[in-house]
A and B are shown apart, each in its own frame.
Chain A
Amino acid sequence: MLKIDNLHVRVAGKEILKGLSLEVKAGEMHALMGPNGAGKSTLGNVLAGRDGYEVTAGTIEYDGRDLLALEPEERAAEGVFLAFQYPVEIPGVNNTYFLRAALNAQRKHRGEPELDSMQFLKKVREKLAVLHLKDELLHRAVNEGFSGGEKKRNEIFQLALLEPRLAILDETDSGLDIDALKMVADGVNAMRDPARAFLVVTHYQRLLDYIVPDVVHVLADGRIVESGDKSLALKLEEHGYAWIAGRRAPDAIGAGAV
């Protein structure tokens, strides 16, 4: 589904990703771990199409298409979803309006009929229940005045509503207490599907107790330096990222997954 090959990315003139390769197949849950500054968030932003990330080399194939050639909204409509590390507050834009506009814009792009407000609200109510979010949240402006935990849950709520095929979760666990973490994990696990792939970016192993990955990658200095099964996350937790730095042999560089 997603095939990243030798990706080099510059941000503000500085090379952040230095030959990252990664392959994610439908139905798989991949975790991407690594120290601060390794380039984890950069990868998420590049996949979603944010401005200011200059791809200097490499390719990203999504469903056999060149993902980099698509506008952010086209990527969304084609099923790519990024759960933001820092969800943006948008004063004055009603959450319900925003969600319906998003869903219908995607449906329109795919040639599907738009949902009327009854159909939409029915769908919304189903998904809210899964994330234990209050109805009241729908009447507020997008993320405005939300607590950190509410913002993150709202991201997963959007994920549930928009039903993407490739979901990238950028440190969705940061700033969450254990109850909120479980709700987020429940929401994500409920979405696991043979046709859907996940790339979960996280600092900590904690999230992976609840969202069990098929593959764990370690990103350091712009490259994937180690890939393995879920036990790799436990090893990292035990030894810290310094252990990885010591293991960074040239032959591990660029080692893809799976």
Chain B
Amino acid sequence: MASALLESLLGADDATLPSAAPALARARGEAAARLRRDGLPGPRDERWKYTSLRALEQRRYVDGDCGAGHRAVDPSAYLLAGVEGPRVVFVNGVFRADLSDLRASPGLEIVRLGTDPLGFAAALTDVDALPGSTDAFALLNTALATDGMLLRVAAGTRVTEPLHLVCVGAAADADVAWQLRLRIELGEGAALRVIEQHVAADAHAHFGNIVADFRLAAQARLDLVQVQDAAQGAALIRRTGARIERAAHLRMHTIELGAQLMRHELAIALSGTGARFESRGVFALHGRQHADTRMQVVHDARDTACDIAWRGVADQRARGVFHGAITVAAGADGADAQLSNKNLLLSPLAEIDTQPVLEIHADEVKAAHGATVGQLDEQALFYLRSRGLPLALARRVLVAAFCGAVLSGLDVPVLRARIDALLAARLPQAEDAA
């Protein structure tokens, strides 16, 4: 085991954590053993071509923050005026009852996995059915995750108040590696809105690793907004798997602004006839940030649709990666697959790699994909300046407009305002960046 990261977290031998649930202990033991054997993916792994794990791999972390229960957190970092529904807050991966609000709502069940080993075992082992669940970071999560949340909405229940899910990173005595497991199950015809935020209470260099698993039964609808503004020194690895059944609809808005190293893999299965996946996303990076979004959508049934539109902006020495792969399986006739990824480089030292991949094995498919990387429109910049807008403001206005083009469907005004403010504060970083 050449990885300092794995060594610091897993130890050298195959001892397993004691557990009330033998299935859980077994799953953890197997995951750890496999990780020790295979290690983290290296540069020759095609899926990690644009994101090097070398720096992360050489770091040592403490497994879990035993002081997470009393870290000081200012709720103003995440509170949103008007978003007054149930709230689930994790600090360094540990559930915080004092900051959360698990009010009862008919048809909505919120289960903390950390206090429910049997439920946890079920969630961990069931997730193996999802593609990619044997990847290194998913294994690491399986081996070490001790907390998480299961949200279950009963068939036919449409939850009106959005659920607020918050992950706070807070400085500890050492750099912490934390794991979190999330699962959202929507019964037939159920509907839920979730606002997921990642914020930093203060500066730190933790490593967070989240595995999320969404199950949408027939005609269910999940509307998820993710705003990731983790600490500038943090590493955050996320895997989201989703299975979308007949006529169900998953809609996501994803904003990636924070973390030093960010990787988000999404594996979306359109499993039932008429299933639909919609994704709008923005990454906006500066400094030496590295953000890699890797999306894999599989059309596995007839008349399924995916509609993906992402925008990326990179300033200074930042690097953005967007990989969007859509597969239309044999027999998935009538599929409609749309993918667009437009990017903006604000500095000659920034880099964006975009990779749209379309693989079609069915007939009668409507598909379009496109990707561009460009710079700010000089004509527009001059027009704004000729009216008196200083160069820095003109650039900010154009960057905000570029990103905003994919956020028009984000119907939580307070969140949109927060995103706009974050964008304005971060980009462009320096006037001399052009």
Listed in ascending order, the chain A residues whose CB lies under 8 Å from chain B are 48-51, 71-73, 75-77, 81-82, 84, 87-88, 90-93, 97-98, 101-103, 105-106, 109, 141-142, 158, 162
- Pair A105/B398 contact, Cβ less than 8 Å: no
**Which of B378, B385, B391, B401 lies in contact with A93, CB distance below 8 A?**
B401
Q: Chain B's nearest CB lies how many Å from the CB of A71?
A: 7
Beyond A98-B397, A105-B393, whether A82 also contacts B405 by CB under 8 A is: no
Chain B at the A interface: SS class: helix
Assuming A51-B378, A88-B379, A88-B380, is B397 touching A73 (CB within 8 A)? no
Whether B388 pairs with A48 at a CB distance below 8 angstroms is: no
Q: Are A90 and B401 in contact (CB under 8 A)?
A: yes
* Given A76-B388, A91-B405, A92-B404, A101 contacting B393 (CB threshold 8 A): yes
CB neighbours (8 Å) of B70 from chain A are none
Q: With CB as the reference atom, state the residue of chain A lying closest to B394.
A: A73
Nearest residue (CB) in B for A102 is B387
Complex formed: what's the CA distance from A173 to B205 in Å?
60
In the assembled complex, the CB of B418 is this many whole angstroms from the nearest CB of chain A, namely 18
Count of CB-CB pairs between chains A and B under 8 Å: 75
Q: How far is the CA of A48 from the CA of B402 in the complex (A)?
A: 25
Any A CB within 8 A of the CB of B386: yes
Q: What separation, in Å, do the CA atoms of A85 and B420 have in the docked complex? A: 32
Give 1 or 0 for each of B368-381: 1 = CB within 8 Å of chain A CB: 00000000011110
Do the beta carbons of B388 and A109 come within 8 Å of each other?
yes
Size class of the contact patch on chain B: 20 to 34
Q: Which residue of B lies closest to A50 (CB)?
A: B382
Task: Name the distance in Å between B56's Cβ and chain A's nearest Cβ.
Answer: 36
Write the nearest CB–CB distance from A126 to chain B, whole angstroms.
19
How far does the Cβ of A145 sit from chain B's closest Cβ, in whole Å? Answer: 14
User: In the complex, what residues of B have CB within 8 A of residue A49's CB?
Assistant: 385-386
Contact A73 B385 (CB under 8 A): yes
Interface residues of B in 248-267 (CB under 8 A from A): none
Known contacts A77-B388, A82-B386; 19 additional CB pairs below 8 A are: A51-B378, A72-B382, A72-B385, A73-B388, A75-B386, A76-B387, A84-B386, A88-B379, A90-B380, A90-B383, A90-B384, A92-B400, A93-B398, A93-B401, A98-B384, A101-B397, A102-B388, A109-B388, A162-B388
Residues on A with beta carbons closer than 8 Å to the beta carbon of B402 = 92
Q: Does B22 interact with chain A (Cβ within 8 Å)?
A: no
B387 near A158 (CB under 8 angstroms)?
yes
When C-beta atoms are compared, the residue in chain A nearest to B387 turns out to be: A102
Chain B residue numbers with a CB within 8 Å of A73 are: 385-386, 388-391, 394
Residues of A within 8 A of B378 (CB): 51
Q: Which of A49, A71, A90, A158 has the most CB of B within 10 A?
A: A90
20 pairs from A and B in contact (CB 8 Å cutoff): A49-B386, A50-B382, A71-B391, A73-B388, A73-B394, A76-B387, A76-B388, A77-B388, A88-B380, A88-B382, A90-B383, A92-B404, A93-B401, A98-B387, A102-B384, A102-B387, A102-B388, A105-B389, A105-B393, A109-B388
Whether B383 and A87, one on each chain, are in contact in the complex, defined by CB atoms closer than 8 angstroms, is yes
What residue of chain B has the Cβ atom nearest to residue A142's Cβ? Answer: B383
Q: Which residue, A84, A93, A158, A162, has most C-beta atoms of chain B within 10 A? A: A93
Report the minimum CB–CB distance from A162 to chain B (whole Å). Answer: 7
In the bound complex, residues from chain B placing their C-beta under 8 Å from that of A105 are 388-390, 393
State A73–B378 Cα separation when bound (angstroms).
14
Cα(A93)–Cα(B379), bound, Å:
14
Distance between Cα atoms of A209 and B391 in the complex (Å):
38
State whether A71 and B383 are in contact (beta carbons under 8 Å apart), knowing that A92-B404, A105-B393 are contacts in the complex: no
The CA-CA distance from A106 to B385 in the complex, in Å, is 10
A115, B397: Cα distance in complex, Å: 19
Write the chain B residue with the least CB distance to A90: B380
Contact residue among B377, B385, B398, B400 (Cβ-Cβ distance under 8 Å from A71): B385
